[in-house]
Amino acid sequence: MDPIISMRGIVKHFGGVTALDHVDLDILPGEVHALVGDNGAGKSTLIKILSGVYTPDAGEIRVDGQLVKFSSPRQTRRLGIEVIYQDLALVEDFDAVSNLFLGKERRIMLGSQTLPILNQSLMYRQALQIFERVRIKIPNVRQRIFYMSGGQRQGVAIGRALNSDNPIRLLIMDEPTAALGVEETSKVLDLIRHLKTQGVTILMISHNLEDVFAVSDRITALKTGRWTATVRTAETTKEEVVSYIVGAKTQRPESVNF
Ligand SMILES: Nc1ncnc2c1ncn2[C@@H]1O[C@H](COP(=O)(O)OP(=O)(O)OP(=O)(O)O)[C@@H](O)[C@H]1O
Ligand SMILES: [Mg+2]
């Protein structure tokens, strides 16, 4: 299977800090790929490069085998790469529908002319469709985000990422369960499994190895900016992944069939 995303030799410095030191990452179509590593390992930096927020100092990125230079999040979005950041970036004072259409509001049309009036009923209907398609249970989509639980917020953020004019190729989730309790975590993990059955490819950052082992197909570990391993979840153990995270053990890159 050819990877949809292929990163090779990615380097990123911040002043004197080497955040990424020749990191390789392949993402296969339809997989849930977990990116793990301790604080400061470079996980967020890597996904910010993949989403066009940062430009790498060296290295190559290919999408469907084509060399690309990402220059902005808008450009990566056009290629179907969507990111849900840890803070979710929802507007607390807005309801779920308004958050779903933030920056992509639907307006009333008069013939071929777009009027400066929001088409609330269309957005409402489309929002219900999106939530239903991904089986996100939001009891009242007109309720302000402020009053929603962590799991519901994550659901709205996922819905927003999927509410795209471009077919989604890759959904990147930074710590999707970090702020959640046990029950909400299991709902979000169910949601990730469901998205996978819908053909959505997912790259998920997580500190929680329980969650990583519950949903991922493969795991890539970073240690202070260096790649240490890419393994199949079914063929490894938590202990082994911990040893890759702390750098007690590393794979030889040439031994890995990305
Ligand atoms: N904008 C920045 N300016 C300066 N240094 C940065 C910047 N972003 C990241 N770094 C540094 O790069 C390194 C990697 O940071 P990064 O945020 O990618 O780690 P992480 O793996 O996401 O960690 P965490 O699990 O804590 O979120 C760290 O040493 C961090 O301090
Ligand atoms: Mg981070």
- Same-domain status, 183 and 237: yes
* Pocket lining: 37 vs ligand 1, CB cutoff 6 Å: yes
For 90, other C-beta atoms within 10 Å of its C-beta total 20
CA distances in angstroms from 52 to 162, 201, 213, listed in the order given: 18, 18, 28
* Pocket lining: 12 vs ligand 1, CB cutoff 6 Å: no
Asked if residue 82 lies in contact with residue 164, where contact means CB atoms within 8 angstroms, the answer is yes
- Same-domain status, 180 and 70: yes
- Same-domain status, 46 and 171: yes
How far is the centre of ligand 2, averaged over its atoms, from the C-alpha of 173 (Å)?
Answer: 11
- Same-domain status, 20 and 126: no
Residues 6+ apart with CB under 8 A from 190: none
For atom 29 of ligand 1, the residue with the nearest CA is: 40
For 234, other C-beta atoms within 10 Å of its C-beta total 9
**Which atom in ligand 1 lies closest to the alpha carbon of residue 45?**
18
Count how many domains the chain has.
2
For atom 24 of ligand 1, the residue with the nearest CA is: 39
> What is the predicted pLDDT for the residue at 12?
98
> What is the predicted pLDDT for the residue at 144?
93
- Same-domain status, 118 and 54: no
Q: Does residue 171 fall inside a structural domain?
A: yes
Residue, of 198 and 202, whose pLDDT is higher = 202
For atom 25 of ligand 1, the residue with the nearest CA is: 39
How far is the centre of ligand 2, averaged over its atoms, from the C-alpha of 13 (Å)?
Answer: 16
Asked if residue 199 lies in contact with residue 193, where contact means CB atoms within 8 angstroms, the answer is no
Q: Which listed ligand is nearest to 40 at the C-alpha?
A: 1
Residue 57 identity (one-letter amino acid)? D
How far is the centre of ligand 2, averaged over its atoms, from the C-alpha of 48 (Å)?
Answer: 10
Tell me the C-alpha distance between 245 and 198, whole Å.
31
- Quick check: 1 pLDDT over 90? no
Q: What is the pTM of this model?
A: 0.90
CA distances in angstroms from 1 to 4, 29, 46, 64, 253, listed in the order given: 9, 8, 23, 11, 19
CA distances in angstroms from 96 to 71, 130, 145, 158, listed in the order given: 30, 11, 6, 11
Q: Does residue 155 fall inside a structural domain?
A: no
CA distances in angstroms from 182 to 53, 97, 149, listed in the order given: 32, 26, 13
Mean pLDDT of the chain: 91
Provide the CB-side half-sphere exposure for 226 (13 A, CA).
12
Q: Does residue 154 fall inside a structural domain?
A: no
Burial 74-84 (b: 16+ CB within 10 A, else e): eebbebbbbbb
Asked if residue 225 lies in contact with residue 19, where contact means CB atoms within 8 angstroms, the answer is yes
- Quick check: 21 pLDDT over 90? yes
How far is the centre of ligand 1, averaged over its atoms, from the C-alpha of 174 (Å)?
Answer: 13
For atom 26 of ligand 1, the residue with the nearest CA is: 39
Q: pLDDT tens across 127-184, in order?
A: 998 888 777 788 888 999 999 888 888 888 888 888 888 888 999 999 988 878 888 8
- CATH number assigned to the domain comprising residue 232: 3.40.50.300
Tell which of 165, 197, 214 closes a domain. 165
Q: Does residue 85 fall inside a structural domain?
A: no
Q: pLDDT tens across 77-119, in order?
A: 888 999 988 777 889 899 999 999 988 888 999 999 999 899 8
Domain that holds residue 102: 91-149+161-165
As a whole number, mean pLDDT of residues 21-44 equals 96
Q: 1: which 2 tokens?
A: 């299977």
Tell me the C-alpha distance between 54 and 37, whole Å.
20
